[in-house]
Structure 1
């Protein structure tokens, strides 16, 4: 079973890497410009990701599953409290204030939607997406409050209510209602939502490839101050979370879902926020890019280790 999970993870990351290269090639050949890529991002955030989340709740209600949802919310809350503390401790030396804010952000927020969901879906199936969606409730609450405030120099201008009512969070709420009350959508609607949701991984990886096409790869590897955060994000932090969750003697599948989410590279919003709020965008891009590449090795390793 462990070998099968490991092989599935390798295959899934390999597929995502190929899709990244497609985006990279399309940008280099000028098939996609920045305006088109921005449109792809808007489609992913506002349409395909919510559809993927919504369809993940298409399970028959059971008391056991409902109990597991409660456990996931508790686990997610504990994890984010721990990461919030670790982010303030691990990077006190050798980094300036802007870099420390970037590192606090990438410590708290792995790439759930762009890479996490597709990997979980490929390795564990849609049931893992359901639990990952629940996991993202505390994640999103923290992302659009504390996460933005890390970068925003004028913190009074952040519209927290508007950010909390994002399409992905609305999809989670609707999905929970459908799950609890066993609401079944008509087949044409269900199938349309499913097809849109399945577009999430290809679009996400193409967006990533387009972004990487504008980065000088040589600089990423020459500036070594991004190596330590990569090791922390991809190996040390998920291992810490794994040890903590095992003290609760919880269902192994739930633990694996939480740990695999935390084994993802930094959220792509790390770069977006750093650029949008005039922080150290080069440092954020280096950490994110290097982590994404290295994760092709570390994600299968982590799955093999904990399975």
Structure 2
């Protein structure tokens, strides 16, 4: 019960931050164009700093097994998400189905997950969560890009996107225990601390432009949100329960928890940036983010609690 209360409290804080974003947009303190500038700052500077910061920790040999399991889980989660979204959200003549699949597959793992993991598992939870974010980044710039554009795989996008670069920098720092000056680590830490507040305020700015009433009668939006919040994490939780994966090694339960939380988070705010850049239906993307974010106040604590029981 303590787990569900802790997670619910973190989700409430996130909603309050989103409320700040809605307020500053509705009162014209921030323009929509300014939010896009902040979004680029978030993706290219702030989130990478947070990922690197999570890797600046003492090396423990037992973490190797846990981290390997974490990457395997993240890979399985994303493959399962892609299969479910492809089967349940059928191809149509209009390209909106591509946007809906994107919203159903990719979660707000980079922005919403870490405060929850920090509050429940501490620094080690954030460390395990890096695997999910890294794999999500790889899939976003490969499958996600192909899903939206139909273009073939661009290897350059896999390794030169900001999130992947941060992981490629952070993991060697951890495994090789590369010493960094205190002023550098403190700077990285301070930038990383801005990640969730800024991301949620930006999300609120985008949501301020959405007509929420119309979304609750849009079956396609509701289906994408249901896949994201219930069907995909529910299927993965069932697989983990049936395979008794939490008993594989001592830290397996914590690794599973650190992956169920991001798997159950609402649609990624990042998707609207890609959709907008490609001049697809950003309103549909924002709608899926809005609906899934609203319902996540119930679903994220629920799945976190169920994961803690494994």
Same fold (TM over 0.5): yes
Matching of residue 71 in structure 1 with residue 65 in structure 2: no
- What is the total number of aligned residue pairs between the two structures? 302
Matches within 5 A, 1:256-271: 256-271=257-272
Matching residue of 1:209: 204
Gaps of 5+ in 1: none
Task: Indicate the SS of the match to 1:119.
Answer: helix
Matches within 5 A, 1:246-257: 246=241, 247=243, 248=245, 249-250=247-248, 251-257=252-258
Q: TM (normalized to structure 2)?
A: 0.90
Whether contact under 8 Å (1:75, 1:245) holds in the other structure is no
Gaps of 5+ in 2: none
User: Does the C-alpha gap of structure 1 residues 197 and 231 become closer, same or farther in structure 2, counting only changes over 3 Å?
Assistant: same
Cα deviations by residue, 1:202-250 (Å, 9 ceiling, x for unpaired): 1001101111111122212232432222222112211211122341443
Matching residue of 1:290: 291
Give the Cα–Cα distance (whole angstroms) in 1 for the partners of residues 44 and 156 of structure 2. Answer: 17
Matching residue of 1:22: 20
Give the Cα–Cα distance (whole angstroms) in 2 for the partners of residues 196 and 47 of structure 1. Answer: 8
Whether contact under 8 Å (2:80, 2:232) holds in the other structure is no
Give the Cα–Cα distance (whole angstroms) in 2 for the partners of residues 227 and 171 of structure 1. Answer: 34
Matches within 5 A, 1:132-281: 132-152=129-149, 155=151, 160-162=155-157, 164-246=159-241, 247=243, 248=245, 249-250=247-248, 251-281=252-282
Deviation of the 1:45 alpha carbon: 0.9
Matches within 5 A, 1:81-160: 81-92=79-90, 98-152=95-149, 155=151, 160=155
Give the Cα–Cα distance (whole angstroms) in 2 for the partners of residues 146 and 42 of structure 1. Answer: 21
Give the Cα–Cα distance (whole angstroms) in 2 for the partners of residues 44 and 233 of structure 1. Answer: 23
**Further displaced range: 273-282 or 13-22:** 273-282
Q: TM (normalized to structure 1)?
A: 0.91
User: Does the C-alpha gap of structure 1 residues 52 and 7 become closer, same or farther in structure 2, counting only changes over 3 Å?
Assistant: same
